[in-house]
Amino acid sequence: MTETYGPGPAESPLILKLLIMHQLFRLVLGQKDLSRAGDLFSLDDSEIEDSLTEALEQIKIISSSSDYQTNSNDQAVVEICITRITTAIRETASIEKHAKALVGLWDSCLEHSLRPSGKDDDAPHAKIASDILSCILQNYNRPPVMALAIPIAVKFLHRSNKELCRNMSNYLSLASITEAALLADHTDVIVKSILQGNAMLLRVLPAVYEKQPQPINRHLTELLALMSQLGQPEQYHLLRLLHVAAKRKQPEVAQKCIPFLIRHLKDSAHNDVILNILIEIAGYEPVALNSFLPMLKEIGEKFPYLLGQMARIYGAVGHVDEERARSCLPFLVSQLANMEHSFHHILLLEIKSITDAFSSLLGPQSRDIFRMSNSFSTIAKLLTQQLETATARSSRKKTSTEVEFPKKLEEIKLTLAEKEDHEKLQVKIQAFEDKINAENSTPNSIRRYSLGQFSKEERKDIRFNRSKSLALRAVLTRSTSSDDGEVAEGEDTPARVFLSETDPLSQGNDKLPFKASSARSQLGNSSVSHPNIIHTDSENLPETVKENFQEETPETTASPIEYQDKLYLHLKENLSKVKAYAVEIGKKIPVPDQCTIEDSVRSCVAKLFFTCSLKGHYCLYSKSSFILISQEPQPWIQIMFLFQQSLFPEPLSIQSHSVQFLRALWEKTQADGTHSFETAMMESMFPQQKDLDQVQLHLEEVRFFDVFGFSEAAGAWQCFMCNNPEKASVVNQDGQPLIEGKLKEKQVRWKFIKRWKTRYFTLAGNQLLFQKGKSKDDPDDFPIELSKVQSVKVVARKRRDRSLPRAFEIFTDNKTYVFKAKDEKDAEDWLQCINVAVAQAKERESREVTTHL
């Protein structure tokens, strides 16, 4: 009797999976045949795509065996198979089909030790987790994949492998852009990882705060204590978190934040951002800021460019009650008389808002004070006198001061106006104020102020100097009534100019890209910016201006901004076009992080610096920069200007810091007698197409697009490695060639005798290696050190030599090499690989220098 034996119950699923797999996968994984593993790369992706899930499950079984950590053959087989699988998944876009098996293998790694066994030796299961990390998480914009991956990903944050944790944090930061809701369920784990030193995850917290504020609020004090240990980008993300928290109007959170924010106000890198957070808090918790006003005053005097924001905080506290109003007004009035800044219009509006809310502070003549003169110092002097008088005045008894003061005011008004027109003007002003009083009511505690416009008829009837125009416009939009606490804006105000600091945090921008260097007219990268404040220069407001009232030639009154800033008005009319254009052009042409104008022999040139926005672990430009020298600076300055405007919801003013910086650059490139910056921007808002084509061509010539590309998912320009993280493992394997093959090298014997010699080249590590002969086995010649390479360029096309587009040059410190590939495609492959390798070598050198310092 013959007995037949079948597979046992445990063996049946394994055999079934092997039968379903592709024959070569079945051979390599079933027999763990390392000699045939390399043949997997000869198969077409579509040929093995149906086998990938089964192959991943087989790898999971192999890697879970008890001897896997000591079996180098099995580890090598698994490593090769995973590389082939992840490549096929990416090329066939089948991540959603195989995500469950891929994440299952990822999860199984958590059951084993991930701690490095030595200084440079990763644990076997850490290698598996790292190899499939990018394949999974680079699909952060695919919800089904992220729903499976994120719960597993966060478990790696506490598994004693810093390298793996850092890479995971990079991808989780990207995932927070589109899948904040999924990450919110793991907020507690993320916060604990940050507190253990993983500061990179701070950029995730603002995105998840709306969904899960409680875990963050519980540890808020501990998070704030990290501030001094963080780099500037992480500090910015922590402040961004506080801004999001402040917007939720939680008094208990505000109480924790305020002392921390006040302590860091003296840091010039962040003080404008911090003030914007304090302004948000002042909107609903002004009393909490009352005790910190002296410190705010001290900082405002030290940093005059912050006074506009300071005024809003003082205004908010001054609205709490009359006692606080009396304590806030002296500072606002003293700054109104100070000519060392340009925020007089904001100060005046805050003062008027407080005095309208508490009419007893100035008495019935308060409106006359604001209308008295076009000199801010004169108004400040009158306000100071009246505040002192009001303080000394008894609440029960009217003193003679109350009677005499209006007479003094009338005398001053008669001195400033022409007598024959004065009576007519007073009638018109009174009629106008009566109308305003009927239409408006008392303001809230804090607002964004606007200067409206009069109707055409009122403009014809009322003519007075610029200070009166400012005061009456303030009355138009801000006039109040003591019966009601709501803001009522005039109906005849179709056009508005908002006078408020633009909040960089609310724009979603880790940063504004420009800052000034007064010595070199330089624009540089900055993690935060000074606020963009639309204002007029107080120096342009004279102490005394004679009033001309001419009935025959009616004039149109304009606010100080509209009166001077033609660039602002032009941008206001074309704002939507500018933003749409900037978004579109930003996908084709990158905006430099830094720009310096330098003198050359013939003219000025722009030295432009580009860095990667993501700065991932294998980033090519996190410490170094791609530098471009342009003979045509103007189109670049224009592109930077348009990009700067696209960051803000309101038109930029010529007085804005960033515009002033760009203006300085522009003027340095212009000859005497040519158009000013604002004139040039208004006459030709967008660069000419021929200029853009020239910029694009120049970027191609310097091989910019070999190492940078625009990421649609991130909405920004990123380096080759950050755009293709799956290729990082290949590029960063020491000794593994990035590209190899035959090239022809130009040999120069004498001046007029040149010939091409075929040699075998290998690009690996930090060197371009080449053999003396055509074979790979020929002896080596002296290699080219990539860190010494200055540039790599295509040999210019010539009519007489159609083969030259496949030739390229490598320039080092002391020699120029000329190579020729078999065709243009091969030349392109070599050029991109060499440029990526050169960038990586220089980045590695920069990191080593930084570490040494």
Three-state secondary structure along 212-245? CHHHHHHCHHHHHCCHHHCCHHHHHHHHHHHHHH
| Identity of residue 152 | I
Instruction: Flag the least confident range among 474-478, 530-534, 789-793.
Output: 530-534
Torsion sign, CA atoms 248, 251, 253, 254: positive
| Residue 171: alpha-carbon gap to chain centroid | 18
Task: Please give the pLDDT value at position 76.
Answer: 92
Pair of tokens at residue 642: 């348009």
Distance (Å, rounded) from C-alpha 201 to C-alpha 187? 11
* pLDDT surpasses 70 at 80: yes
> Which residues pair with residue 449 across a beta bridge?
499
- CA Rg value for the chain: 34
Residue 414: pLDDT band by 50, 70, 90 thresholds? Answer: very low
Task: Please give the pLDDT value at position 260.
Answer: 92
Pair of tokens at residue 264: 């860091």
Eight-class DSSP state of 771: B
* pLDDT surpasses 70 at 477: no
Pair of tokens at residue 138: 């680079």
Task: Please give the pLDDT value at position 291.
Answer: 92
* pLDDT surpasses 60 at 759: yes
Question: Looking at per-residue confidence, does 543 or 782 come out higher?
Answer: 782
Instruction: Flag the least confident range among 65-79, 154-168, 456-470.
Output: 456-470
How far, in Å, are 246, 267, 483 from residue 505 at the CA level?
12, 17, 36
Largest CA distance in the chain: 136
* pLDDT surpasses 50 at 794: yes
In angstroms, the first-to-last Cα distance of the chain is 83
Residue 73: pLDDT band by 50, 70, 90 thresholds? Answer: very high
Task: Please give the pLDDT value at position 774.
Answer: 66
Extract long-range pairs of 445-448: CB within 8 Å, 24+ residues apart.
445/282, 445/283, 445/286, 445/316, 445/319, 445/320, 446/279, 446/282, 446/283, 446/286, 446/312, 446/315, 446/316, 446/319, 447/487, 448/498, 448/499, 448/500
Number of alpha carbons in the 13 Å side-chain half-sphere of residue 717: 23
Tens digit of each residue's pLDDT (9 = 90 or more) over 190-238: 999 999 888 889 989 998 998 899 999 999 999 999 998 998 888 989 9
Residue count (the chain)? 853
Structural element, H or E, at residue 745: strand 737-750
Extract long-range pairs of 226-230: CB within 8 Å, 24+ residues apart.
226/194, 226/195, 226/199, 227/260, 227/264, 229/199, 230/199, 230/202
Residue 442: pLDDT band by 50, 70, 90 thresholds? Answer: very low
Residue 721: pLDDT band by 50, 70, 90 thresholds? Answer: confident
* pLDDT surpasses 70 at 421: no
Across the chain, mean pLDDT equals 75
Task: Please give the pLDDT value at position 730.
Answer: 59
Pair of tokens at residue 301: 């005097």
Question: Looking at per-residue confidence, does 781 or 529 come out higher?
Answer: 781
Question: Looking at per-residue confidence, does 764 or 340 come out higher?
Answer: 764
Cβ(808)–Cβ(785) below 8 Å: no
Number of alpha carbons in the 13 Å side-chain half-sphere of residue 631: 6
Mean pLDDT to the nearest integer, 752-774: 78
Cβ(169)–Cβ(198) below 8 Å: yes
Residue 422's CB is within 10 A of a number of other CB atoms, namely 15
Structural element, H or E, at residue 52: helix 52-63
Alpha helices, DSSP H only, in 647-777? 657-669, 677-683, 689-701, 704-707, 720-723, 728-731
Cβ(384)–Cβ(333) below 8 Å: yes
Distance (Å, rounded) from C-alpha 427 to C-alpha 441? 23
Residue with tokens 């295509």: 794
* pLDDT surpasses 90 at 255: no
Q: Is 134 exposed, middle or buried (0-12, 13-18, 19+ CB in 10 A)?
A: buried
Tens digit of each residue's pLDDT (9 = 90 or more) over 260-272: 999 998 888 888 8
Tens digit of each residue's pLDDT (9 = 90 or more) over 624-679: 889 999 989 999 999 999 999 988 888 888 888 889 889 888 888 876 657 788 88
Residue with tokens 């390599």: 28
Beta-sheet strand order (sheet of 516-517): 516-517, 522-523, 594-599, 604-610, 626-630
Distance (Å, rounded) from C-alpha 670 to C-alpha 668? 6
Structural element, H or E, at residue 428: helix 419-439
Residue 1's CB is within 10 A of a number of other CB atoms, namely 2
Mean pLDDT to the nearest integer, 481-486: 37
pTM of the model: 0.48
Question: Looking at per-residue confidence, does 131 or 775 come out higher?
Answer: 131
